[in-house]
Chain A
Amino acid sequence: MFKIEAIIQPFKLEEVREALKAAGIDGVTVTEVRGHGRQKGHKEIYRGREYNVDLLPKTKLEMVVAEARKEEVIETIMMAARTGKIGDGKIFVYHVGDAIRIRNNDRGEAAL
């Protein structure tokens, strides 16, 4: 099992979710986050005071998938979230030790 963590542009969230749904991935956790990679921020001016905003709003998606589906999911997210510009985000993949469904004690891939 692998945990796939994708940090994407907030406006791409719906497209990515649609694509994941179409690929048959059901469970996802979404968080609004702020951060930056190589993308530069923007300038804001309030009554003449200038501020550089370099922590930008991003959206983080987390899901755990079976090993067999890992590459497919990564591909799906990549295709849906890509604009080709700096700031599109990143995907991180982790090994997951176990998964437990709280409702009925399902373990491992059965719990996904």
Chain B
Amino acid sequence: MSPTKRAYLRVCTLLLCALPVLAAEDPELIALKAAVKAAQSAGDNAWMLVSCAFVLMMTGPGLALFYSGLVRRKNVLGTMMQSFVMMAVITLLWGVCGYSLVFGEGNAFIGDFRYAFLNGVGAAPNADYAPTIPHLTFMAYQMMFAIITPALIAGAFAERVRFHAMVVFSVLWLFLVYVPIAHMVWGKGGYLNPFLGGRIPVFDFAGGTVVHITSGFSALLTAIMIGKRSGYPQERMVPHSLVLSFIGACMLWIGWFGFNAGSALGASALASSAFVATHFAAAAGAVSWMVAERIKSGKASALGAISGAVAGLATVTQGAGFVTPVSGAIIGFIAGFVCFYMVVLVKNKLGYDDSLDAFGVHGIGGFIGCLLTGVFATRAVNDALKLANGQAAPLGLVDGNPGQILNQFIGALIGIAFALVGTWIALKVTGLITPVRMDKQQEAEGMDVALHGEEGYAFED
């Protein structure tokens, strides 16, 4: 029983003793109930508004710095703009109909237009999703996820795609991939939603499938379809400022607390559990990537350490609020090793130019995180799913439910299928509207001057 409830009961008992003829409609009691409700709402809403801002900080400046430090100097602004423009464009589209198509009830695969233009989204909570915070807060919080997801993909085609093509592609991608998958996993009646009437229960606490699998696998396909950067891999293409990337990665780590712990949708013990599991996964990911690097090349690099932390964070996202902190650390360790192997060995062998490793970190991390959630999810952490008799349902393998791994696998495959098909369509349609790639001369000149008409570092008085 939470402290607020306990206090509430105590006050009620007192009132009942003092007033023997207290009627149920006693105005004081009603007022008291309302006050208790308002107090919980205030606490939850405070945390959720902070979380919401944290998740936005992950895109700008977090991801913007992380990615832009990894590109060449001439592309620093262009790369930052790819993140920032999502903050502007996706926000508006989310208000027009994005939110509604994800969280409107609709059918099993997509929502409807009931909340279009934020119609009916106000101070009153939405009881289905987050009964203690204003519906507006829930809408804004979810918006931040929709912003960062297409921004992640841009890492795969860094340094070679035209600005408006990137925007057109991202908008199409939002509606073809993000919207249906997010609805299926999180929307009421969604096909994969275990809590609100889904057919196949897939546990995705904060978006391992919705954000990382979709963006990661889409990233791989865009890298292949758009092609390599000219000069890759012969030419020297080193990160122009790992200092920027380092700051960005640290902001991602901090922002991820909003992403994962915020997904508890309240200032609850579950939020604390997700917070700690997230932190342990990041730490373990950083350690295992550094160890792998030390073994492979003799040196633990700064880029390796931050990449490992991000891999751990991406991988624990799916299970953050279903697994214990210790499981979070195990997930992070596995993530660091597997993503290192993908990024350092497999990618360079296969030869595709996933320039900033959106696939190697988010796609692979998201995928193994999805499966590992089926292993480590436990009702000891999250008892929201009930059996018919009212007891908490067993979640993953550790609860004696090995079948959940298969459910998670199916969820991942559906996410991958939507990502690949949706990306293919979005990129083809974008190509019909506007040329996707910068021409050779623009690419040589760099995105900053060629696409935006400015320089990131104009060292003049």
Bound together, the chains give a CA A45 to CA B239 distance in angstroms of 11
A24-32, A46-54, A69-77, A95-103 - interface stretch: A46-54
Q: Are B238 and A47 in contact (CB under 8 A)?
A: no
B236-A48 in contact (CB<8A)? no
State the CA gap A48–B297 with chains docked (Å): 9
Q: Is A109 an interface residue (CB 8 A)?
A: no
- Contact indicator B301/A49 (Cβ below 8 Å): no
Do most interface residues of chain B lie in helix, strand or loop, or is the interface mixed? helix
A49 close to B303 (CB less than 8 A): no
Instruction: Report chain B residues within 8 Å CB of A48.
Output: 296, 343-345, 347-348
Q: Is the CB of B343 within 8 A of A51?
A: no
Q: Which B residues have a C-beta under 8 Å from some C-beta of A?
A: 233, 236-239, 296-297, 299, 301, 303-304, 307, 343-345, 347-348, 357
Question: What are 14 A-B interface contacts by the 8 Å CB criterion?
Answer: A44-B238, A45-B297, A45-B301, A46-B239, A47-B307, A47-B344, A47-B357, A48-B296, A48-B344, A48-B347, A48-B348, A49-B237, A49-B348, A51-B236
Which of B238, B296, B345, B347 interacts with A46 by CB under 8 Å?
B238
Distance in angstroms between the alpha carbons of A48 and B344 in the assembled complex: 4
Given A47-B344, A48-B347, 15 extra CB contacts under 8 A:
A45-B297, A45-B299, A45-B301, A46-B238, A46-B301, A46-B303, A47-B303, A47-B307, A47-B343, A47-B357, A48-B343, A48-B344, A49-B348, A51-B236, A51-B238
Chain A residue numbers with a CB within 8 Å of B238 are 44, 46, 51
A44 to chain B: which residues have CB within 8 Å?
238
Q: Which of A34-62 contact B (CB under 8 A)?
A: 44-49, 51
Q: Which residue from chain B places its CB closest to the CB of A44 in the assembled complex?
A: B238
Contact between B236 and A47 (Cβ–Cβ < 8 Å)?
no
A46 vs B348: C-alpha distance in the bound complex, in angstroms? 12
CA distance A46 to B347 in the complex (A): 13
Query: Nearest CB to that of B361 among chain A residues?
Result: A47
Complex-state Cα separation, A73 to B175, whole angstroms: 72
The answer to whether A49 and B233 have CB atoms under 8 Å apart is yes
User: How far does the Cβ of B298 sit from chain A's closest Cβ, in whole Å?
Assistant: 9
8 A-B pairs with least C-beta separation? A48-B344, A51-B236, A47-B343, A45-B297, A48-B348, A46-B238, A46-B303, A47-B344
